[in-house]
Chain A
Amino acid sequence: MAEQTLREWLLTDTPTSRRHAKVSAFYQGWLSFRANTMAMIGLGILLALVLIAAAAPFLAPHDPFAQDLGNRLAPLGAEGHIFGTDSLGRDILSRLIYGARITLYIVALVALIAPVVGLLMGTVSGYVGGWVDIVLMRITDIFLAFPRLVLALAFVAALGAGIENAVIAISLTAWPPYARIARAETLTIRSSDYISAIQLQGAGGLRIITKHIWPLCISSLIVRVTLDMAGIILAAAGLGFLGLGAQPPSPEWGAMISEGRRFILDHWWVATMPGLAIFTVSLAFNLLGDGLRDVLDPKAGE
C-alpha cells in the first residue's frame, strides 16, 4: 500500500471495520497530539530518557560507583567530569545517567500498580453498588484522609527502606484518586443504554466490568497517571531525600540531592544537577500529560 493511500485509509470518514475505526481514531489523535509542540517536547525528553537508560553503559564516561576521595567535589566542567564529582569523588554525570534507569523503574512500577488497584476498586465499587460501594469508598476515604507523605513514610518504615518498598508505599498513597475517577466513570457508563443492552443479552458482571467498563475508563486514567507521574517522581525523590528510598551507593536522583544538600552553600552543583534532572523529567511528564489530555479527554482540559 502506498503512503498516500495509507494516509487516506487512516483518515477515512467511513471505516470498513471496527479495527479500521480504532486505528483511524488513534491516528487522528496522534495527528492532533503531534501538532502540540509542548507535548512533543515532553515526549521527546521521555524518549531520550529511555534511550539514555538503555544505553547507560555506553554513554556514561565513568563507572558510576568508582570512588576517588582525592578528587571529590570537583566543580562543573572539571577535567573529565563535566558535571563535577560528588562527596566520594564519583562522576556526577555518570551517576545521573545510571540514575535514569532507577527513575524509569520507579515510574514504570508505580504506573503499573496504582492505576490498576484504583481501577479495580473504582469499577467494582461503581458497578456493584450497595454495601460493597459503601465499604470500598470508606476505605478509599481513609487512605485519602491520610497525609500522603506520612502514609508513604509509615509504609516504608514498616517494610524497610529500599526502592521496591518505596514504590509500593507510593502506589499505596496514589491509588485512591484513580478509584474515585474510575467509580465516577463507571456510574455514568453503568446507567447508559449500551450497558443495559449488554445486560439484557445476559452478560455477567465480571465480563461487563472487564470487557466494557475498563476500556472506557482507561483513557481518563492514562491522562491522570501521566499528570501524576511528576508527583510520583517528586515523592520518590522526597523519600530518597529523607533517606528512605534507594539504598546507597545507588545513584537515585532524590538520594543524590539529599547527599549533595550538605554542600549547597559552597558546592551547589552537587545537589543542583540531580535537582535539574528531576525537574526536567517531571516537566516532560507534565507536558506530555497536558497534551494527552487535550487529545484523549478534551472535556476535562479546556
Chain B
Amino acid sequence: MALIEDNGKGRARASLPPWIQTAFLTIGSIAMTMLGLLFVTFIIGRVMPIDPVLAIVGERASQSTYDAVFLELGLDKPLIVQFAYYIWDVLHLDFGTSLLNARPVAEDIARVFPATLELATLGIFFGIVFGVPLGVVAAARKGSWIDQLARVLALVGYSMPIFWLGLMGLLIFYGILGWVGGPGRVGIFYVDVVPSVTGLILVDAALDGNWDVFKDAFSHIILPASLLGYYSLAYISRMTRSFMLEQLSAEYITTARVKGMSEWDVIWKHAFRNIRVQLITVIALSYATLLEGSVLTEIIFSWPGIGSYITTALLSADMNAVLGGTVVVGLIFILLNIFSDLLYKVFDPRAK
C-alpha cells in the first residue's frame, strides 16, 4: 500500500537533495488527501436529508427559533463559502463546537479518542502476541494440526459477525461466569476516581498508583480487546504464514539447512528476520483499522470511543463533530501508511 509513488520523474530537473523533495511531496500529498477527505465529508453533510437546524432545536421549536439557528449556523451562505470558512478554522486548529452538545469538538475528540486508542492498542497487542507466532509455526509446520488450527481460527474470524460474537461474549463471560467487567470502561463507582492525565485509564491508574482502578479497568477492557485482538489475529496470522512460506521456500534457507543450522535458527534468525518489514506494514494497516474505531464493538460494550462518536454525530447531523472525527481518523490512517512506506524504503533490500 504505497501511498507515495516515487516514479523518478522529479529527480532529473530539480537540484534540491532528494530527501527534501520527498518530504515536500509527502507533505503535499497529505495535504491534498486531507483536503479531499474534508471536502467529501462536507458534501455528504450538506446533501444529507437531515436538517442540522432541526437536530439542534428539536421537534417542538417555533419557526422563529428555527430561523435564528439557521442564520447562526451560516446555512444561508453558499456551500463553497461555508467550506472555505471551515477550512480556515481548521487551519487555526479550531474544529468548531459540536452542534449537539455545545462543546468544542477538539475537546470531545480528546476525550473519546484515548478510549479507542487504549482498546485498539491492547487489541493489536493481542493480535501480534498470538497471531505472529501462530503464523510462523503454521508456516514452519505446514499441514500440521497447528496449521489447520490457525486456518480454522482465521476463517472463523473472517466470517463471524462481530456484533453477534460480542453479545455472546458479554453474555457468557460477564453475565454467566462473571469473569470480566461489564460494559463501559470502568465500574461505575470508579468513574473519575483517578485524575485524567493521558485519558488512557490503565495508564492514568498506574500513574496514580491506584491499582484497584487499574484492575477494574483491566477487567472491563479485556473482553472487547480480546475480541478485536481475535479479528486482527485472524488477519495477522494468515499474512505471517504466507510471508513465511515465501521465505522458507527461498534458496538461502535451503543453503542454511544444508549447512546444518538448527530449525529454530533457520526460522527465527533467517526467515523471520526477512519478513519483519512486510509484517510491520500488515500490522500498521490492521492497527489503523482498529484506530478508526470499531463502531459495532463500541456500541455493544458501551465504549465511548471515536467510532461510535462519529456514528452518533453523523446520524444526528452534527457535522462539525463528523468532520473533526474524520480528520483525526483520516490523518492517523495516512500517517500510519506513510510510516510503513518509509520502513519499506529504509529496510527493504529490494527497494535500495
Contact = CB atoms under 8 A, between A and B. Distances in A.
Given A265-B171, A265-B175, A283 B156 contact: yes
B12 interface: no
Name the residue in A146, A261, A279 with the highest tally of chain B Cβ atoms < 10 Å from its Cβ.
A146
B333 interface: yes
Contact of B295 (A143, A146, A150, A264): A150
Given A145-B330, A150-B310, A287-B155, A272 B36 contact: no
B159 interface: yes
A257 B164 contact: yes
Nearest to A283: B159
Contacts of A300: 242
A147 B44 contact: no
Given A141-B3, A145-B37, A150-B295, A301 B242 contact: yes
B33 interface: yes
Interface string B295-330: 110000000000100110011000000100010011
Interface string B164-178: 100110010001000
Interface stretch (A58-66, A198-206, A213-221, A230-238): A230-238
Contact of A257 (B163, B293, B334): B163
Contacts of B40: 142-143, 146
Contacts of B33: 138, 141-142, 145
Nearest to A300: B242
Nearest to B241: A302
B41 interface: yes
A272 B165 CA distance: 10
Nearest to B295: A149
Nearest to B313: A150
Contacts of A54: none
A275 B161 contact: yes
B163 A264 contact: no
A154 interface: yes
A157 B167 contact: no
Nearest to B333: A145
A282 interface: yes
Q: Give the bracket for the number of chain B residues in contact with chain A.
A: 35 or more
A241 interface: yes
Contacts of A144: 333
Interface string A251-294: 00010010001001100100110010011001101110010000
Nearest to A177: B1
B242 A302 contact: yes
B32 interface: yes
Interface residues of A, number: 49
A1 interface: no
A147 B310 contact: yes
B292 to A, nearest CB: 4
A158 B47 contact: yes
B49 A160 contact: yes
Interface in B1-60: 1, 3, 5, 7, 29, 32-33, 36-37, 40-41, 44, 47-50
- Name B's interface SS: helix
A234 B160 CA distance: 8
A155 interface: yes
B252 interface: no
B190 interface: no
Contacts of A257: 161, 163-164
Contacts of A282: 158-160
B186 to A, nearest CB: 23
Nearest to A287: B155
A155 B44 contact: yes
Contact of B36 (A139, A283, A302): A139
A278 B163 CA distance: 12
B305 to A, nearest CB: 12
Interface string A149-173: 1100111011010000000000000
Contacts of B326: 146-147, 150
A147 B164 contact: no
B245 interface: yes
A243 B238 CA distance: 33
A144 B326 CA distance: 12
Interface in A128-143: 129, 133, 137-139, 141-143
Name the residue in A142, A160, A290 with the highest tally of chain B Cβ atoms < 10 Å from its Cβ.
A142
A138 B29 contact: yes
Given A153-B311, A301-B242, A286 B155 contact: yes
Contacts of A153: 295, 311, 314-315
A207 to B, nearest CB: 25
Contact of B163 (A145, A261, A302): A261
Given A149-B295, A150-B326, A238-B296, A302 B49 contact: no
For the complex of A and B, the 3 pairs showing the least CB-CB separation, nearest first, are A282-B159, A147-B292, A142-B36
Given A153-B314, A238-B163, 10 more contacts: A141-B29, A146-B330, A147-B292, A157-B49, A158-B47, A241-B161, A275-B164, A283-B159, A285-B159, A302-B241
18 contacts: A145-B33, A147-B326, A149-B307, A150-B326, A153-B315, A230-B159, A231-B158, A234-B161, A238-B163, A238-B296, A261-B167, A268-B171, A271-B164, A272-B164, A278-B161, A286-B155, A286-B158, A287-B155
